[in-house]
Chains A and B, each alone.
Chain A
Amino acid sequence: MPFSTIATPLAKPVANYKMATRLEGGRLLYISGQVAWDASGNIVGKGDVGAQARQTFENLRGVLQAAGGDLPSLMKITTYITKIEDFPAVAQARGEVFQGELPASTLIVVKSLFHPDFLIEVEGVAAV
Chain B
Amino acid sequence: MDRREVLSERPVERGRGFMPGVSVIPSRVLFTAGLTGRNPDGTLVAGGMAPQARRTFERLGAILSHAGAKFDAVVKQLTYVTDIEAYNAGGRPERAKFLGGTRTASTGLVVRRLADPAMLIEVELVVDLPGAPSRAPLLEKYNAESHGGDFHQGVIVNGGRLVYLAGQVANAPDGSVAGVGDWRRQAEKVYENIGHLLQAAGATPATVVKETTWVLSIDAWRQHGPAVRRAFYANDFPASTLVEIPGLARPEFLVEIEVIAAVA
Surface stretch bound by B, among A23-31, A44-52, A92-100: A23-31
A27 x B4 contact (CB < 8 A): yes
A67 to B111, CA, bound (A): 30
Residue picked from A6, A32, A59, A107, most chain B C-beta under 10 Å = A32
Surface stretch bound by A, among B40-48, B57-65, B167-175, B220-228: B167-175
B25 at the interface (CB under 8 A from A): yes
B183 at the interface (CB under 8 A from A): no
> Which listed residue, A41, A75, A84, A104, touches B251 by the CB 8 Å rule?
A84
A111 to B171, CA, bound (A): 24
B143 at the interface (CB under 8 A from A): no
B residues less than 8 Å from A12 (CB atoms) = 171, 173, 175
Q: Known contacts A28-B24, A32-B19, A111-B246; is A106 also within 8 Å of B167 by CB?
A: yes
List residues 87-128 of chain A with CB under 8 A from any CB of chain B: 87, 104-114, 121, 123, 125, 128
List residues 232-260 of chain B with CB under 8 A from any CB of chain A: 245-251, 256, 258
B residues less than 8 Å from A76 (CB atoms) = 164, 166
> Which listed residue, A14, A29, A83, touches B175 by the CB 8 Å rule?
A14
A112 to B109, CA, bound (A): 7
A10 x B196 contact (CB < 8 A): yes
List residues 32-81 of chain A with CB under 8 A from any CB of chain B: 32-34, 37, 39-41, 59, 62-64, 66-67, 75-76, 78, 80
B223 nearest CB across to chain A (Å): 22
Residue picked from B84, B164, B168, most chain A C-beta under 10 Å = B164
A67 x B6 contact (CB < 8 A): yes
Q: Could you give, for residues 194-237 of chain B, a 1 whenever the CB lies within 8 Å of some chain A CB and a 0 otherwise?
A: 10110111100000000000100000000000000000000000
A residues less than 8 Å from B9 (CB atoms) = 39
B105 x A31 contact (CB < 8 A): yes
B18 at the interface (CB under 8 A from A): yes
Q: Known contacts A67-B6, A111-B112, A121-B107; is A32 also within 8 Å of B246 by CB?
A: no
B171 x A19 contact (CB < 8 A): no
B residues less than 8 Å from A31 (CB atoms) = 6, 20-21, 105
B residues less than 8 Å from A8 (CB atoms) = 196-197, 199-200
- State the interface size on chain B (CB cutoff 8 A): 63
> Which listed residue, A19, A66, A78, A105, touches B21 by the CB 8 Å rule?
A66
A128 to B201, CA, bound (A): 20
A109 x B247 contact (CB < 8 A): yes
A109 to B201, CA, bound (A): 28
A20 x B26 contact (CB < 8 A): no
B251 x A21 contact (CB < 8 A): no
B22 nearest CB across to chain A (Å): 5
B residues less than 8 Å from A24 (CB atoms) = 161
B110 x A20 contact (CB < 8 A): no
A1 at the interface (CB under 8 A from B): no
A residues less than 8 Å from B13 (CB atoms) = 41
> Which listed residue, A11, A19, A23, A33, touches B106 by the CB 8 Å rule?
A33
A108 to B129, CA, bound (A): 30
Q: Known contacts A9-B173, A41-B12, A107-B167; is A27 also within 8 Å of B25 by CB?
A: yes
B248 x A32 contact (CB < 8 A): no
Closest to B88 in A: A114
4 tightest A-B CB contacts, nearest first: A106-B167, A109-B247, A33-B107, A41-B12
